[in-house]
Amino acid sequence: MRSPVSSSRAMRAEAGPRRISILGATGSVGTSTVDVVLQQRAAFEVEVVTAQSRADELAAIAIRLGAKLAVVADPDAHGALVAALSGSGIAAAAGPAAIIEAAARPVDLVVAAIVGAAGLAPTLAAIEAGADIALANKECLVCAGTLFNRRAAAVGVGVLPVDSEHDAIFQALEAENASAVDRITITASGGPFRTWTLEQMSRATLAQALKHPNWTMGRKITIDSATMMNKGLEIIEAHHLFDIESDRIDVLVHPQSVVHGFVAYTDGSVIAHMGAPDMRIPIAHCLAWPKRVAVATPRLDLALAGTLTFEKPDLERFPSLQLARRALESGNWATNILNAANEVAVQYFLAGEIDYLDIAATVESALDLATATVGGAEVGSIEAALTIDAEGRRLARETIARRGRLRAG
């Protein structure tokens, strides 16, 4: 096991405001990041903010933060962005290539908060440019974890885990005692269907799946939480961040979301991390690391929280967890397929075109089919990662079309 910041060469040495860029600034993690930065205005200078298409929201953020450049991935949103920034002196750009270019502008830290595999190329560009990464976009590691780590180590940048469970492990991990770690545990709320039977789940609606009990998040990760694929992706994320094998990473369902993760050492000690379920807490930790800054966030009141409970996840009702472990055992090509197929299946579910239980079934089918087409392929470059990603998407669409035809009789 190792600390994910062991190769950071920049952040310990800086003086003056930390220069940052925020990729995915209009999203749930993005806007929480904006909030933290606004609370600690003097501590940060913002270079770049990006979004997919919500130009007006992005322009408002750029103006509030005094960013130098705002970029939308969608070229059709360029006109609206230019208009909304008019007179502000902030530059505007558009298109996926412009996002990658912007991510590579020299800064100390890039907050990677784009959702999905779309974040991989910009985040790798930021690494190549020498920025430390505050990583929310776990799909980067699921798509190409070995490549990601290899490039981060070669360039000498650190990866700070924004995901609350991984930030918890990061904080509970004594870097000098990493070799004395026995196991790590990440917790899961269990999502809205924690107590539902499979029969009930077969009738779960989109509105029910989008109703997360504890966290307010973007739509994709909210559905991933309902299927518990999010925890599967997080097992893979933990493996790459901390260089620890799948069979030493445990998942515990903890509906109160107070304990986010813990590290068990070989002497029997267990160090747990607690906090209110608010992403501004891990974000503030990553933005200021290795210092801490004062941020107005909900405070944990254990007397109010009352009883804390923990239970093992039910792998029959939540098969995504096992699919993720199976993919992790098979290698980067398989986790890449898992991610791509899951992104497609979640999109179809969000569009009302497949049922909740079809999500995991689609991912499993894509994984099975991919063994014959890309099984064992190396994910040694961004091009290879994107090729396998495209195959995962194709296989997922094919599976959904086939199941649709079967149902139609």
Give the binding site for ligand NAP (CB under 6 A): 24-30, 51-54, 73, 99, 113-115, 118, 136-139, 163, 215, 217-218, 220-221, 279
Q: Does 101 count as an annotated binding residue?
A: no
Nearer to ligand NAP, 94 or 377 (CB): 94
Structure tokens at 372: 């014959």
State how far the Cα of 229 lies from the Cα of 226, in Å rounded to an integer: 8
Nearer to ligand NAP, 220 or 240 (CB): 220
Shortest gap between Cβ of 306 and ligand NAP (angstroms)?
24
Q: Is 225 annotated as a binding residue?
A: yes
Nearer to ligand NAP, 233 or 369 (CB): 233
d(CA 51, CA 61): 10
* Min dist. Cβ of residue 203 to ligand NAP (A): 26
**Helix axis angle, 139-155 relative to 229-242, nearest 10°?**
10
Is 137 annotated for ligand binding?
yes
Q: Compute the least distance from the CB of residue 245 to ligand NAP, in Å.
A: 23
Which residue number, 70 or 253, has a Cβ lying nearer to ligand NAP? Answer: 70
Do the annotations mark residue 214 as ligand-binding?
no
Which residues are within 8 A (CB) of 173 and not within 5 positions of it... i.e. 6 or more apart? 1, 3, 181, 242, 263
**Does 330 appear as a known binding residue?**
no
**What phi and psi, each to the nearest 5 degrees, are found at residue 70?**
-125, 135
Closest CB to ligand NAP among residues 5, 23: 23
CB of 70 to ligand NAP, least distance (A): 11
**Binding site annotation covers 163?**
yes
For the purposes of burial, counting CB atoms within 10 Å of the CB of 315, is it exposed (0-12), middle (13-18) or buried (19 or more)?
A: middle
Instruction: Say whether 139 counts as a known binding-site residue.
Output: yes
CA 204 to CA 53: how far, in whole Å?
Answer: 30
| CB 60 to ligand NAP: min, Å | 12
Q: Is 45 annotated as a binding residue?
A: no
User: Considering the complex, what minimum distance in angstroms separates the CB of residue 54 from ligand NAP?
Assistant: 4
Of 51 and 80, CB closest to ligand NAP: 51
Q: Measured from the CB atom, is 260 or 325 closer to ligand NAP?
A: 260
| Annotated binding residue 29 | yes
Of 122 and 369, which CB lies nearer to ligand NAP in the complex structure?
122
CA distances from 383 to 97, 113, 144, 179, 380 (A): 14, 21, 11, 35, 8
How many Å apart are CA 47 and CA 61, to the nearest integer? 12
Note every long-range contact of 31-38, with CB atoms under 8 Å and residues 24 or more positions apart, other chains counting: 31/61, 32/278, 32/279, 32/280, 32/283, 33/111, 33/113, 33/283, 33/287, 34/61, 34/64, 34/65, 35/280, 36/280, 36/283, 36/284, 36/287, 36/295, 37/65, 37/287, 38/64, 38/65
* Minimum separation from the CB atom of position 8 to ligand NAP (A): 20
Is 239 marked as binding a ligand? no
- CA-CA distance, 139 to 136, in Å (whole number)? 9
CA distance 213 to 209: 10
Query: Three-class SS of residue 266?
Result: coil
Q: Provide the minimum distance between the beta carbon of 215 and ligand NAP in the complex, in angstroms, as a whole number.
A: 6
To the question of whether residue 218 is assigned a binding role by annotation, the answer is yes
Consult the annotation and say whether 138 binds a ligand. yes
d(Cα 367, Cα 320) in Å, to the nearest integer?
A: 12
Task: Report H helices in 16-95.
Answer: 28-39, 55-65, 78-85
- Kindly state the smallest distance separating residue 276's Cβ from ligand NAP, in Å: 13
* Nearest CB to ligand NAP, comparing residues 3 and 32: 32
CA atoms of 297 and 300, how far apart (whole Å): 9
**What is the rounded distance in angstroms from the CA atom of residue 246 to the CA atom of residue 282?**
24
Task: Cite the annotated binding site for Mn(2+) by residue number.
Answer: 163, 165, 234
Task: Cite the annotated binding site for 1-deoxy-D-xylulose 5-phosphate by residue number.
Answer: 138, 164-165, 189, 212, 225, 230-231, 234
Task: Cite the annotated binding site by residue number.
Answer: 26-29, 137-139, 163-165, 189, 212, 218, 225, 230-231, 234
